[in-house]
Amino acid sequence: MRRLIASRRARLLAGVAAVVAVIVALLMTGLGRDPSVFASPLVGRAAPNFTLPQLDGPPVTLTRLRGQIVVINFWASWCTECRVEQAALNQTWQQFQDSGVVVLGIDFQDTADAARSYVRTDAVAYPVVEDASSKTALAYGLRGVPETFVVSRSGRIVRHVIGPVDPVALAGEINSMLGTRA
Amino acid sequence: MNAAGTLRRARAGLPGLLVLIALVAGLVTLVIVAVSGHPPASQAQEVQQIASGLHCPICKDLSVADSPAPLAQQMRQEIAQKVRAGESAAQIRAGFVAAYGDSVLMSPPRQGVAGVVYYLPFLVLAAGLIVAFVLLRRWLRAPQPDPPGAGPPELSATQRRAVAKAVARLREEEPG
């Protein structure tokens, strides 16, 4: 009788341990993930097209950039984290602009004057367009700024980063895309 | 027949005519409501209805209709534009889901992981009820200990005869 009770207890403990192990394994799968890389429903799909006016220049249409890798960065002059990543985006533009890579800033919920002032003081080197109606921001499922989308040469979104971009990770992504025919 | 008589007859028939018109108008309204299900909502109502079914992406627990955030305001403007352009509520919702995912819906579809999360508590509850029922039945069927002072159970006449027969058979089988 005692042996029967001991065997039942052992089976119960093994069951509880198995359930705990499954839960811990599920939780641990998230530890290796970069929290800034967002599992956007747009990743893998065609980037929504837009034609937006540049702050000081002709309008930019996304489909006209087909064949080039496009780094789309949503930002605003009032956004402090955008200033944090500014150097990284300038560096990416300077490093890759001759390799068929375009960095494009999209000004979000801002005034043209404030945006121009930001571009001047922070020496934004790449083209910047205005999204006054936020239509483009909504089409990209924007939740805030900064957010960055990497679009392949075929016009598909391959990465969606929430928060400031990591220049090393971004350069690695671009280098791997330049090495493929994507 | 003079003109005064005709006028008098027409005046006398007027209330009946008005009642008939009112009855026909009421009937037509009833038919329209019955066919369409409800009176047609205005565009503003439709915008409000769609916006209240969408979750403000930058808010904690507010719908696009209730949020004062600029992004929610722009979403409401976008919805209004699409309603004016003739898009259906389902098409408008699908557009936001394509950009933001199912999390933009106040009531996401109960499929995949969301379905598991939704139905799991009910499954666990059902399993618990089954286990409780089985345990309770087992407990009720288990032999109850005799109350102190109770004698041996009373046997029926048939049982007593069967016991006597068995005892007699055992005695016959006993050697010597």
HEC letters along A74-142 = EECCCCHHHHHHHHHHHHHHHHHHHHCEEEEEEEECCCHHHHHHHHHHCCCCCCEEEECCCHHHHHCCC
Share of chain B above pLDDT 90, in %: 48
Say what percent of chain B tops pLDDT 70: 77
Whether this prediction's pTM lies above 0.80 is answered by no
Q: Does the bond joining A146 to the residue before it have cis omega, within 30 degrees of 0?
A: yes
- Report which of A161, A168, A145 is spatially closest to residue A38, judged by C-alpha positions: A161
Q: Categorize the per-residue pLDDT at B120 as very low, low, confident or very high, splitting at 50, 70 and 90.
A: confident
Question: Distance of CA B120 to CAs A144, B129, B171, Å?
Answer: 33, 14, 64
Please, which residues have CB within 8 angstroms of residue B173's CB and are 6 or more apart in sequence? none
Q: What does the block give as tokens for A49?
A: 């097209």
Look at residue A46 and give its three-state secondary structure.
strand
Whether the CB of B101 is below 8 Å from some CB of chain A: the reply is yes
Asked if A15 reaches chain B (Cβ–Cβ under 8 Å), the answer is no
Q: Is residue B104 scored above 60 in pLDDT?
A: yes
Nearest chain A CA: its distance from B65 CA (Å):
16
> What pLDDT is recorded for position B111?
75
- For chain A, 182 residues long, the average pLDDT of each consecutive 10-residue run is 77 88 79 66 96 95 97 97 95 96 97 95 94 95 96 96 94 92 51
A133 reaches B (C-beta below 8 A): yes
Within 63-122 of A, beta carbons closer than 8 Å to B belong to 109
Helix (H, G, I), strand (E, B) or coil at B162: helix
CA angle, B70 then A85 then A38, to 5°: 65
Identify the band that residue B9 occupies on the pLDDT scale cut at 50, 70 and 90. Answer: low
Structure confidence by residue, pLDDT tens digits, B42-82: 999 999 999 999 999 988 889 999 999 999 999 999 999 99
Strand partners, B55: B63
- pLDDT classification of B147: cutoffs 50, 70, 90: low
The predicted pLDDT at position A32 comes to 65
Residue B26 at interface with chain A, using a CB cutoff of 8 Å: no
Please say if the pLDDT value at position B138 is more than 60: yes
**With contact defined as beta carbons under 8 Å apart, do A109 and A133 qualify?**
no
pLDDT at A27: 77
Question: Is 80 exceeded by the pLDDT of residue B176?
Answer: no
State the residue for tokens 């957010």: A147
Question: What pLDDT is attached to residue B39?
Answer: 47
Nearest-CB residue to A141 (from B70, B77, B99): B99
Can you give the pLDDT at residue A39?
72
Phi and psi at A156, nearest 5°, equal -100, 145
**Site from A111, A134, A145, A147 to mutate, B interface, most B CB atoms within 10 angstroms:** A134
Average pLDDT over residues B75-90: 96
Closest C-alpha to B53, from B92, B99, B111, B110: B92
Q: Quick check: B96 contacting A, CB < 8 Å?
A: yes
Contact A133 B77 (CB under 8 A): yes
Which range, A125-139, B32-46, B130-144, has the best average confidence (pLDDT)? A125-139
A138:B74 CB<8 A: yes
